[in-house]
């Protein structure tokens, strides 16, 4: 699997500029032989949450329409980061997956909303469902940014068949060490690839210095993108089976732990 990581400086509130940037970068990725691309969280509008009334889009909006067009034109799988989605009068932070035919095949609405600083919980409605997306390389478990801190979500996805976890984010520079530790931990404990794609740049919501990561099922960092750039990496999905056969932690997990009543702890 040749994967393209798109890490760029998102312009808050400027959907047209962000769409133009992504279109150019996806075209570059296709020219370099990428089979799939991954975008950062809220790539089309940034954290301009006070302006959601004008920025949020439905599934027929310009941003998803653009990704569908790009996927079909270039024959690419697109893990479309996330957009601010308007659905039934509510706003969601929603990750989109589009196949190489240009069809939306999965949507994941962010479950864990970050209450500090960005105050996501005041603007977005939390999602209620975990999502697995079928890809030519195996099932992908979908997560977004703050979700990385909740191991039960990643484990739930892995136990249901995920071979990679795709985690678009806008993770601040101040907690970059946590970003790397958590990405490696989620990969190691679940024996999956973790594709964690951050943004780059600075605006009123914070400072973001990228360092998008691709982590193997053995916890090895295969890519650490330090600057605003398009990065490509080859992923050998057979490493998932190798890790799980040589160190069968998922198979040997004691299921009695699933039955513990949290109220008694």
**41 in catalytic set:** yes
Q: Is the dihedral of CA 185, 189, 193, 199 positive or negative?
A: negative
Q: What is the pLDDT of residues 192-209, one digit of tens each?
A: 999 999 999 988 888 999
Identify the pLDDT of residue 183.
Answer: 98
Q: What is the pLDDT of residues 23-80, one digit of tens each?
A: 999 999 999 999 999 999 999 999 999 999 999 999 899 999 999 999 999 999 999 9
3-state secondary structure of 190: helix
Q: What is the pLDDT of residues 149-187, one digit of tens each?
A: 999 999 999 999 999 999 999 999 999 999 999 999 999
Identify the pLDDT of residue 262.
Answer: 59
- Tokens standing for residue 129: 């469902």
> Which spans in the chain are helix H?
15-31, 52-55, 62-74, 151-159, 176-190, 238-246
258 falls in which pLDDT band (50, 70, 90)?
A: low
What is the pTM for the complete model shown? 0.94
Q: By percentage, how much of the chain surpasses pLDDT 70?
A: 97
- Tokens standing for residue 173: 């520079």
Identify the pLDDT of residue 206.
Answer: 86
Rounded distance, CA 242 to CA 204, Å? Answer: 44
Domains and CATH numbers, the chain: 2-264 (3.60.110.10)
- The closest alpha carbon to 224, from 187, 192, 190, 197, belongs to 197
**Tally of residues, the chain:** 265
Q: Is the pLDDT assigned to residue 265 strictly greater than 60?
A: no
> 219: Cβ–Cβ under 8 A, 6 or more apart, which residues?
184, 187, 188
**50 in catalytic set:** no
> 182: Cβ–Cβ under 8 A, 6 or more apart, which residues?
148, 149
Catalytic residue among 19, 85, 110, 120: 110
Catalytic residue among 19, 41, 85, 120: 41
- Whether 38 and 81 have beta carbons less than 8 Å apart is answered as yes
Region of 250 on the Ramachandran plot (φ > 0 left; ψ -120 to 50 alpha; else beta): alpha
**110 in catalytic set:** yes
């Amino acid at each position: 699997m040749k994967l393209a990581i798109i890490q760029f400086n998102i312009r808050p509130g400027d959907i047209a500029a962000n769409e133009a940037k992504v279109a150019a970068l996806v075209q570059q990725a296709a020219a370099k032989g990428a089979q799939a691309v991954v975008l950062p969280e809220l790539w089309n509008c940034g954290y301009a949450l006070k302006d959601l009334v004008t920025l949020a889009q439905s599934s027929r909006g310009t941003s998803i329409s653009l990704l569908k067009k790009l996927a079909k034109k270039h024959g690419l799988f697109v893990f479309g980061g996330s957009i601010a989605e308007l659905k039934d009068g509510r706003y969601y932070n929603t990750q989109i997956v589009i196949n190489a035919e240009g069809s939306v095949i999965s949507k994941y609405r962010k479950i864990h909303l970050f209450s500090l600083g960005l105050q996501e919980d005041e603007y977005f409605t939390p999602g209620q469902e975990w999502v697995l997306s079928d890809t030519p390389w195996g099932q992908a478990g979908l997560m977004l940014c703050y979700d990385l801190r909740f191991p039960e979500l990643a484990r739930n996805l892995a136990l249901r068949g995920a071979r990679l976890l795709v985690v678009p984010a806008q993770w601040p520079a101040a907690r970059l060490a946590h970003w790397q530790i958590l990405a490696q931990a989620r990969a190691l404990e679940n024996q999956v690839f973790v594709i964690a794609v951050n943004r780059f740049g600075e605006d009123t919501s914070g400072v973001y210095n990228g360092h998008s990561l691709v982590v193997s099922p053995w916890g090895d960092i295969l890519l650490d993108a330090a600057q605003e750039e398009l990065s490509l990496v080859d992923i050998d999905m057979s490493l998932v089976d190798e890790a799980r056969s040589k160190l069968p932690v998922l198979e040997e997990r004691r299921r009695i732990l699933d039955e513990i009543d949290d109220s008694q702890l």
